[in-house]
Chains A and B, each alone.
Chain A
Amino acid sequence: MTGNLAGANTSPDLIQLTLTINGTRHALKLDPRTTLLDLLREHLDLTGTKKGCDQGQCGACTILVDGRRINSCLTFAVMYEGAQITTIEGLARDGNLHPLQQVFIDHDAFQCGYCTPGQICSAVGLMAEDRARTAEEIRELMSGNICRCGAYTNIVAAIQQAMGRS
């Protein structure tokens, strides 16, 4: 470690903010260093969103902010004052799985499952974007979600089925 460490141990000024997460309003006071990912997992017990690399290289932390898929690890939560956030926990409705959750089960589109919440949130974003038509386009636009088990073939098939239904 090089450089000046001044400030490293000073207590941070907490920032007030309001976020709507899966339809519930949260009034929060946060250290500005808190990422959306850590807010979800460490402060709100929404552990469905996974921490993989924590540096924007794996996609396990993908969530939807105002309907768009983003990597929650590369954000400061305070930047998202007033935003509507949807996580994997917010996709099911009235006890019914979201169609993308169902097709992932139907196609066995996972093995260990660690990347799956990010894959599914990313696929929800993909379908909202309405840009992918072919399997190649699905693969390209889902390339921000790494699956170390290599379940890609079934993930693409699941998304294709969901697209066919919509």
Chain B
Amino acid sequence: MINFEYARAGDVADALRLIADDSAAKFVAGGTNLIDLMKMDVERPRKVIDINRLPLNQIENTPNGGLRIGALVRNTDLAYHPLVEQRYPVLASAIMAGASQQLRNVASTGGNLLQRTRCHYFYDTATPCNKREPGSGCSAIHGHNRMHAILGASEACIAVHPSDMCVALAILEAKVHVTGASGDRVIAFADFHRLPGNTPQRDTNLNASEIITAVELPPQGFSKNYTYLKIRDRLSYAFALVSVAVGLELDGETIKEACFALGGVAHRPWRDRQAEAALNGQPANAATFARAADALLSDAKGYEHNRFKIDLARRCLVRALTQAAHGTPQLQSFKKIM
């Protein structure tokens, strides 16, 4: 790891002052991804700005019936918060499906959004990687790509976003509150993460000198009909091959509103509004769910080692929609998939 200057920010203004005009500076919150990447020489910040003392660790109701989550709220505190468990159980479930309790105790809400891909070529500085070293090439596209993208990838990058939490935030239509030298702005969750295109080095639309201050949840939490289903190579503490977050509003057996997103398959949580809208007014049954899965995966493209993920994703979505419709969400401790 290269040497770096360590600075501790006391408040948001202090943090912005410390990062201004220093493109080689990085904020550190939990550090569970940044420090890992620094050990591997993938991230090489000259200055590390510790933001853990910033007053961004509150969870508060918003006037419109939503919830505002401070960027420094730790994953465990978010998943176990009574208002999240009651009103946004799909978020609590997704968080508990990721990482381990030791990591969740440290990892922050803002940091979860900003974590980098776990593509092993991105981590291995001896191999080309357009995300790490723009223009050097993609080692995964003709390499070991079993964990990689089947949707939204480009010739430059087939990495996936590794977060579970973000898959739930995608269907909850969270808003990301950020601030920077040019003021505050709110980024819709769908606009926060980018597809790789020709600039895979940019994961998000957050500017380098901006900081996330909060994630806001709208009132709709799908607390009755939801699930987070995650399929991985072992039953816990592994990144998703495919995951699915589902939220449904039902009128009897008829679907009034459907939101679903896939994790582990693209450079960002994958939603398709058209495929969701096609479910409105339809009966909540296997035939409807199969059509939704076909629509969501219609543009999927596999590579040498990950073609199985297309069928896996299709089946996961059907199963997850069934779980949500029945009001029997996947439990994250009892592993049998019902």
A123 CA / B133 CA spacing, docked (Å)? 41
A94 an interface residue at 8 Å Cβ cutoff?
no
B277 an interface residue at 8 Å Cβ cutoff?
no
User: Does B237 lie within 8 Å of A144, measured CB to CB?
Assistant: yes
A59 to chain B, nearest CB (A): 6
Which of B28, B44, B50, B102 is within 8 Å of A70, CB to CB?
A: B102
User: Does B36 lie within 8 Å of A56, measured CB to CB?
Assistant: yes
User: Does B4 lie within 8 Å of A33, measured CB to CB?
Assistant: yes
Interface string of A45-68 (1 = CB under 8 A from B): 000000000111001001000001
Chain B count of residues within 8 A CB distance of the other chain: 40
User: Does B44 lie within 8 Å of A4, measured CB to CB?
Assistant: yes
Interface string of A123-153 (1 = CB under 8 A from B): 0011001010010110111111100000000
A72 CA / B165 CA spacing, docked (Å)? 23
B210 to chain A, nearest CB (A): 21
Of the stretches A75-83, A85-93, A106-114, A157-165, the one at the interface is A75-83
A3 an interface residue at 8 Å Cβ cutoff?
yes
B100: chain A residues at CB < 8 Å are 59, 71, 143-145
B80: chain A residues at CB < 8 Å are 131
User: Does A76 lie within 8 Å of B125, measured CB to CB?
Assistant: no
A85 to chain B, nearest CB (A): 14
- Most B CB contacts (10 A, CB to CB) among A4, A79, A134, A136 go to A79
User: Does B32 lie within 8 Å of A56, measured CB to CB?
Assistant: yes
A11: chain B residues at CB < 8 Å are 3
Given A3-B41, A32-B48, A74-B32: A8 and B2 within 8 A (CB)? yes
A78: chain B residues at CB < 8 Å are 6, 8, 50
User: Does B41 lie within 8 Å of A13, measured CB to CB?
Assistant: no
A35 CA / B40 CA spacing, docked (Å)? 14
23 interchain pairs, CB-CB under 8 A: A1-B126, A2-B125, A3-B133, A8-B3, A10-B3, A12-B3, A32-B5, A33-B1, A56-B103, A70-B105, A74-B106, A75-B31, A76-B6, A76-B28, A79-B31, A122-B102, A125-B101, A129-B101, A136-B334, A142-B101, A144-B99, A144-B101, A144-B102
